[in-house]
Amino acid sequence: MTGIPCALMRGGTSKGGIFLAEDLPAEPAARDDLLLRIMGSPDDRQIDGLGGAHPLTSKVGVVSLAGDDAADIDYLFLQVAVDKPVVSTSQTCGNILAAVAPFAIERGLVPAQGDATVVRVRMVNTGTVAALTVRTPGGEVTYDGDAEISGVPGTAAPVEVAVEPAAGALLPTGNPVDTIAGVEATLIDNGMKSVLVRAADLGVVGDEDPAALEGDADVVRRVAEIRAAAFPLMGIDGTPESTTTPKIVLLSAPAAGGAIRTRSFIPFRVHEAIGVLGAASIAAGLRVAGTVADGLAVLPPDGAPLRIEHPTGFLDLHVDPVPGDPGAVGETRVIRTARMIMDGRVHPRSSAVPTTKEHG
């Protein structure tokens, strides 16, 4: 039982297994079968694998050297469903992105360059390239530092993330507001396909705990209807059951000095914090005139970060405007942290289909 080389890492407010591509099967079906067995899916507790029984802790990053000079490494993100035998590549993840850059240095794919090393990462799921600055004092990655991010206890070394604009249309329909499933919504994609709606239009305040929203049958039903209606408008392939985008984000006026308050369905559970690229899409929605955020958002002075409030705190990020084009945005910049939790070998369960049993 030699196992498979694997690093268990926290990236931002997410956690998952990080692998070199060469250590996993190249054929997608075989790779996905293996990852389900590694993470312990399908099982509500993922008791027989690495998964943490929540979408935020059931993630995988696959890393390889980039195939061209546009990036240093390629990063494929896979969302492993907790309770279903599903592995999705329909989105990327900006939190796990913060982990793959130090991982690439640790694995020798990118040489350390003095006290800070820039790693150019191609997010294979979307084709977008991000530049991440990792602290490498003495030529080695450090995870120790004084950067704090909401949703993560303690402090760690900052990982500075700069993401180029998404290649596709910022507003897939060309409209700042569309009416879908009977609700006004902004369909937007600044790295994460998202549908922004006013919390009040779904009959909630916007300050509810994630569990309360997940337990509100009317809200869950309306979110599902909105999400299904957005699929053809956003050009998303697949079905609402098999694809993790778009995310549905409930917006309300800020309550703690930020620019906007959010609750994000990702897509069935409600995020305990917020995804980096989800926040980037929300921030773009604040910068574009005429969206559903108008009348709710409190924009900061020019040059100040946009503070996106979420259930466990906030996320600050900069989204550059494009001079002369109020309907576009430029680079997105944000600070994340990451940590190596375990570096070793993981032993997947056997390929036998798991049986459903009562947990005891």
State the amino acid at position 220 in one-letter form.
Answer: V
In the predicted model, residues of the chain with pLDDT beneath 50 are: 355-360
Please determine, looking at this structure, whether the domain spanning 178-329 carries the CATH number 3.10.310.10.
yes
Q: Decide: 147 and 158 in contact? Cβ < 8 Å.
A: yes
User: Residue 275 is encoded by which pair of tokens?
Assistant: 């995804």
- Quick check: 121 and 100 in contact, CB under 8 A? yes
Report yes or no: 307 and 257 within 8 Å, Cβ to Cβ. Answer: yes
- What was the pLDDT predicted at 1? 61
Find the helix or strand (DSSP H, E) in which 326 lies: strand 325-346
Domain residue spans of the chain: 4-165+338-346, 178-329
* pTM of the complete model: 0.88
CATH number of 4-165+338-346: 1.10.3430.10, 3.10.310.10, 3.30.420.40, 3.40.50.150? 3.10.310.10
Which one, of 207, 173, 209, 146, lies nearest residue 337 by Cα? 146
| The two domains 4-165+338-346 and 178-329 share their CATH topology (first three levels equal) | yes
Q: Which residue in 224, 327, 334 sits closest to 276, CA to CA?
A: 334
Q: How far is CA 351 from CA 38, 137, 223, 346, in A?
A: 10, 43, 35, 15
CA angle 154, 156, 158 (to 5 degrees): 135
**Would you list the DSSP string of 237-297?**
-S-TTT---PEEEEEE--SSSSSEEEEEESSSSBPSS--HHHHHHHHHHHHSTTSTTTTT-
pLDDT (0 to 100) of residue 354: 52
Do residues 246 and 228 touch, judged by C-beta distance below 8 A?
Answer: no
Burial of 325 (0-12, 13-18, 19+ CB in 10 A): exposed
Q: What pairs with residue 313 in β-bridges?
A: 310
φ, ψ of residue 223 in degrees (nearest 5): -60, -45
- CB within 8 Å of 86: residues ≥ 6 apart: 41, 80, 242
Closest to 9 in 3D by CA, of 53, 61, 64: 61
